[in-house]
A = this chain, B = another copy of it.
Amino acid sequence: MQPIDLLIEADHVLPVRPARVVLADHAVAVDDGRIVALLPRVEALARYAPREHVRLGESVLLPGLVNAHTHNPMTLMRGLADDLPLKPWLEDHIWPAEGRVMGVDYVRDGVELAIAEMLRGGTTACNENYFFPDVIGETCRRHGFRVTVGIPVIEFPSAWARTRDEYFERGLAVHDAFRGDPLVSTSLAPHAPYTVGDESFERIRMLRDQLGIPVHLHLHETRGEVEDARRASGMRPFQRMQALGLVDASLVAVHMTELSDAEIEHCAAAGVTVVHCPESNLKLASGFCPVAKLLAAGVTVALGTDGCASNNDLDLIGEMRTAALLAKGVAGDARAVDAHAAIEMATIAGARAMGLADAIGSIEPGKQADLVAIRLDEIEAQPWYDVAAQIVYAGHRRQVSDVWIAGRRRLAGGELPDMDLESIKARARRWRQRIAAR
């Protein structure tokens, strides 16, 4: 009998790779934070002597969900300003509020609140895009949560950095600080074509080539953005990114609601990863990302919640449902983005967006043991005919019972053993007072 750290049995395992498979009565063997094997339950019991043995019943075990685009400190601004379009929402509400609170404490408390919500909803990793990436990385590391922190680049001063040079200097220091960290990686995160100049983009391209990390960029969020750019410069932002040499396999392009067929082909040919944020796009009336067309062209499409101020939650199960439903409506085809496709967006595609395609996103030997268990024995899940469809179309986040990250159990029976929820809630209430003050 082979000694291992952990064996998890489940009635159903949905490994994502191989694609579109649901295995009955299987078990996942974990050792030293990694997946050692995925095999039939009876074989596992005969082969392994686990130090910890978890028997899930009428549940499905999945790779941990990956939120491919978030601004987690903004969880403290959940519902600060609703039912407004992007421009007044940002300029009249979000930016002034951020001006009042931006700093180490706000970022740390917001990220802790977000981690609690994400763990309870089955999310094990996120692709972060905000100021103070050092604080974000440290907070995630402290709670055992996996993150890719974006190195922010934007052409205006903030509490994080005053000048372009300072953005790059501080950002590179963050990259160095987390080099080799098992849970924290980095990306380059220029805010958007309309807030970042060509000189910065050129430095980003050089750094990308040097460091080999993704470029995480808001792109074509609205038709207005595309039209404004064309009026001003004669070029669509995507075209400008092409001219700057940024459209390649390292580009993680978020939103992409406004795309020509030719641009979709360019994305496919270049290996761009698109991050779709359906609830944010709907809430801000930003437009509809042509997800079915992108997938048909062979583009990798991941899923993000965006920040809580434009969603207003970090619920990837809900986001999968919205993505699967909306894609059908937009394509006029009920076959578009089926349940398995939605689950791939929230797992393996998100892994790629984080620059971690080889490390997470599926239950395969050698990968990190980032796992989530979803109960199917609740009244809301009965009866079920197809496990994947059940999760996407009827699942809700409180059916998530257990979460492991790198083999460590971070949610156990719906409870968070390592987090002080009362303290997190008390701090959230205090920030509400400061943020709401006008």
Binding site for B on A (CB under 8 A): 76, 78-86, 89, 113, 116-117, 120-121, 279, 281-285, 287-288, 308, 311-313, 315, 318, 321-322, 325-326, 328-329, 331-336, 338-339, 377, 379-380, 382-386, 389-390, 393-394, 396-398, 421, 424-425, 428-429, 431-432, 435-436
Q: A331 contacts which of B285, B334, B386, B397 (Cβ < 8 Å)?
A: B285
**Which of A279, A390, A393: most chain B Cβ within 10 A?**
A393
Beyond A78-B394, A379-B120, is A389–B312 a contact (Cβ under 8 Å)? yes
Q: Are A120 and B380 in contact (CB under 8 A)?
A: yes
Q: A79 contacts which of B79, B333, B384 (Cβ < 8 Å)?
A: B384
Q: How far is the CA of A283 from the CA of B330 in the complex (A)?
A: 11
Residue of B nearest to A84 (CB): B334
Q: How far is the CA of A314 from the CA of B82 in the complex (A)?
A: 25
Q: Are B285 and A116 in contact (CB under 8 A)?
A: no
Q: Are A432 and B383 in contact (CB under 8 A)?
A: yes
Q: A333 contacts which of B113, B285, B315, B382 (Cβ < 8 Å)?
A: B285
The 5 closest A-B pairs by CB, nearest first: A383-B432, A282-B325, A83-B338, A398-B398, A312-B393
A-B contact pairs, 9 of them (CB 8 A): A82-B339, A83-B389, A284-B328, A312-B390, A313-B380, A322-B322, A322-B325, A379-B425, A396-B397
Beyond A83-B335, A335-B84, A393-B283, is A117–B383 a contact (Cβ under 8 Å)? no
- Cβ contacts under 8 Å, A380 to chain B: 117, 120-121, 313, 315, 397
Q: How far is the CA of A321 from the CA of B82 in the complex (A)?
A: 12
- Cβ contacts under 8 Å, A386 to chain B: 79, 82
Q: How far is the CA of A396 from the CA of B113 in the complex (A)?
A: 17
Q: Are B379 and A117 in contact (CB under 8 A)?
A: yes
Q: Are B334 and A389 in contact (CB under 8 A)?
A: no
Q: How far is the CA of A80 from the CA of B394 in the complex (A)?
A: 12
Q: Beyond the given A79-B386, A80-B385, please list 14 additional residue pairs across the A-B interface where CB-CB is below 8 A.
A: A79-B384, A83-B328, A84-B335, A113-B379, A285-B331, A288-B329, A312-B390, A312-B394, A313-B380, A322-B322, A379-B421, A382-B429, A383-B431, A396-B397
Would you give the shortest CB distance from A334 to chain B, in whole angstroms? 4
- Cβ contacts under 8 Å, A116 to chain B: 379
- Cβ contacts under 8 Å, A377 to chain B: 425
**Which of A282, A336, A338: most chain B Cβ within 10 A?**
A282
- Cβ contacts under 8 Å, A385 to chain B: 78-81, 432, 435-436
Beyond A311-B393, A329-B288, A398-B398, is A428–B83 a contact (Cβ under 8 Å)? no
Would you give the shortest CB distance from A84 to chain B, in whole angstroms? 5
- Cβ contacts under 8 Å, A396 to chain B: 313, 315, 318, 396-398
Residue of B nearest to A426 (CB): B382
Residue of B nearest to A326 (CB): B282
Would you give the shortest CB distance from A13 to chain B, in whole angstroms? 19
Q: How far is the CA of A333 from the CA of B436 in the complex (A)?
A: 25
Q: A325 contacts which of B78, B279, B315, B335 (Cβ < 8 Å)?
A: B279
Q: A285 contacts which of B82, B328, B398, B428 (Cβ < 8 Å)?
A: B328
Residue of B nearest to A383 (CB): B432
Q: How far is the CA of A328 from the CA of B287 in the complex (A)?
A: 9
- Cβ contacts under 8 Å, A432 to chain B: 383-385
Q: How far is the CA of A81 from the CA of B143 in the complex (A)?
A: 40
Beyond A394-B312, A398-B398, is A78–B384 a contact (Cβ under 8 Å)? yes
**Which of A121, A287, A331, A385: most chain B Cβ within 10 A?**
A385
Q: Are A390 and B331 in contact (CB under 8 A)?
A: no
Beyond A113-B382, A379-B424, A380-B313, is A284–B334 a contact (Cβ under 8 Å)? yes
- Cβ contacts under 8 Å, A308 to chain B: 394
- Cβ contacts under 8 Å, A322 to chain B: 322, 325
